[in-house]
């Protein structure tokens, strides 16, 4: 027979089971490694806006697009969206360029007269900002970073229709403030208007190859999931594949820093140091890019994707790369002022390298200069060379003599 003590235990168990049967069931997962919590977003970053690009408007090609900037990439974006069936207005600076686009369907600066590249009939050009933004449903921003703030403040915002999304293709850091473009846009949002719905396009995409309709893949980043889905659908075609990301910081930081790494790669090639040295510089530069981006809250997977190593490889080794070409000429011994005066297009890596010195110092306030040089030797060396403080070959020698540690 069961003793009194055992009966008391059984009674207690039965009472406990009866109590638990009256409680709601909650699943608790097996204990495991704790996930790293992301840093909290600022008030402006945390705001998620409703997307005005409805699925029906996107599917029926009723979204009216304005591309701001008639440079090579702005022209490529107008060509892409026009080829996908969307009505596009291309805002350019020169009346002669607008007339040529409207009459001959080509940008005279980038489309050879005897070539076969022509804008679709859906594309038209204008020099009038008010006209370009009238009834605009989507604004594609393809203006260099250093000119972006003035363009937004003086030209775009006075004609802005609240709620209109902006898709930025510019990459870099504003020299005067050290801000990435996503931060510049956040700082420009008027307090009396609803926040600007913003997205950012990046990845290995030379404008010339896009115009020739060669296969290209890119990533569009936005915090609004509806917006990035709509943009991916609008941009995608049989020759242009678009992936989506919510990591705006990672896409923007990698898109800017890769230009500085490309300048370093060009310098190495200009000095005739060989592929071993160039590959080492690019690889370690990517490590520094990841370190900086993670400090700002980016995800590592973004740095390993199209906007990170993908765009970096293309910019560092592609013959069409403006930043690589700039570094190559510098490595060959051309004076910096002469390169700047004779370059047909903007090499954003020059401004970005200088701005990075300030931004890195702000992100690592407790680091002494020597420790910063050990942490970001490639990025800071490019800035030193551009400032004329050291010869490129001497800086590389200094880098090779630094103490070696674990690869990270």
- Angle (CA) 101-315-255 rounded to 5° is 85
Estimate the crossing angle of helix 322-331 against helix 348-363, to 10 degrees.
90
**How far does Cα 306 stand from its chain's mean position?**
10
Range list of H helices, 55-158: 55-59, 72-83, 95-104, 129-133, 145-151
Q: Of all residues in the chain, what percent are helix, strand and coil, respectively (each to 5)? A: 50, 10, 40
258 is catalytic: yes
Of these residues, 149, 223, 228, 258, which one is catalytic?
A: 258
Q: b/e map of 330-365 (b: 16 or more CB within 10 Å)? A: bbeeeeeeebeeeeeebbbbbbbbbbbbebbeeeee
Q: State yes or no: 70 annotated in a binding site.
A: yes
Please tell me whether 322 is known to bind a ligand: yes
Is 327 annotated as contributing to ligand binding? Answer: no
71 is in an annotated binding site: yes
| 72 is known to lie in a ligand binding site | yes
Query: Was 5 annotated as part of a binding site?
Result: no
Number of neighbouring beta carbons within 10 Å of residue 250: 29
CB contact at 8 A, 133 and 161: yes
Backbone φ, ψ for residue 105 (5° rounding): 65, 30
Separation in Å, CA 143 to CA 50, 75, 147, 391: 25, 11, 7, 32
241 in a known ligand binding site: no
Cβ-count burial of 388 within 10 angstroms (0-12 exposed, 13-18 middle, 19+ buried)?
exposed
Residues shown for the chain: 408
Q: Is 268 annotated as a binding residue?
A: no
Binding site: which residues? 69-74, 171, 207, 322-323
Residues that are catalytic: 258
Binding site for NAD(+): which residues? 69-74, 207, 322
């Amino acid at each position: 027979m069961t003793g009194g003590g055992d009966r008391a235990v059984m009674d207690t168990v039965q009472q406990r089971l009866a109590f638990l049967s009256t409680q709601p069931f909650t699943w608790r997962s097996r204990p495991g490694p704790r996930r790293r919590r992301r840093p909290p977003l600022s008030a402006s970053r945390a705001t998620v806006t409703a997307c005005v690009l409805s699925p029906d408007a996107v599917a029926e090609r009723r979204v009216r697009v304005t591309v701001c900037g008639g440079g090579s990439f702005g022209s490529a974006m107008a060509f892409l969206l026009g080829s996908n069936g969307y009505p596009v207005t291309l805002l350019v600076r020169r009346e002669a360029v607008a007339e040529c686009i409207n009459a001959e369907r080509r940008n005279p600066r980038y489309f050879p007269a005897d070539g076969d590249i022509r804008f679709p009939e859906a594309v038209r050009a204008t020099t009038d900002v008010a006209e370009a933004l009238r009834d605009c449903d989507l604004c594609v921003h393809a203006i260099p970073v250093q000119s972006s703030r003035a363009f937004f403040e003086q030209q775009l915002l006075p004609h802005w229709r609240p709620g209109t999304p902006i898709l930025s293709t510019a990459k870099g850091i504003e020299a005067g403030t050290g801000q990435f473009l996503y931060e510049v846009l956040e700082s420009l949002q008027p307090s009396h208007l609803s926040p600007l719905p913003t997205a950012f396009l990046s990845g290995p995409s030379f404008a010339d190859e896009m115009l020739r309709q060669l296969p290209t893949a890119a990533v569009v980043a936005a915090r609004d999931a509806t917006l990035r889905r709509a943009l991916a659908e609008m941009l995608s075609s049989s020759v242009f594949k678009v992936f989506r990301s919510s990591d705006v910081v990672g896409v923007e930081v990698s898109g800017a820093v890769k230009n500085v790494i490309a300048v370093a790669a060009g310098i190495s090639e200009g000095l005739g140091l060989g592929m071993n040295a160039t590959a080492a510089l690019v690889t370690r530069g990517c490590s520094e890019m990841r370190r900086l981006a993670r400090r700002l809250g980016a995800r590592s997977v973004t740095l390993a994707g199209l906007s990170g190593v993908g765009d970096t490889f293309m910019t560092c080794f592609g013959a069409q790369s403006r930043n690589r070409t700039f570094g190559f000429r510098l490595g060959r011994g051309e004076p910096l002022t002469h390169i700047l005066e004779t370059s047909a297009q903007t090499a954003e890596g020059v401004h970005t390298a200088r701005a990075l010195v300030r931004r890195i110092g702000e992100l690592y306030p407790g680091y002494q200069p020597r420790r910063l040089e050990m942490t970001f030797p490639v990025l800071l060396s490019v800035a030193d060379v551009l400032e004329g403080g050291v010869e490129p070959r001497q800086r590389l020698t200094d880098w090779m003599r630094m103490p070696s540690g674990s690869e990270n």
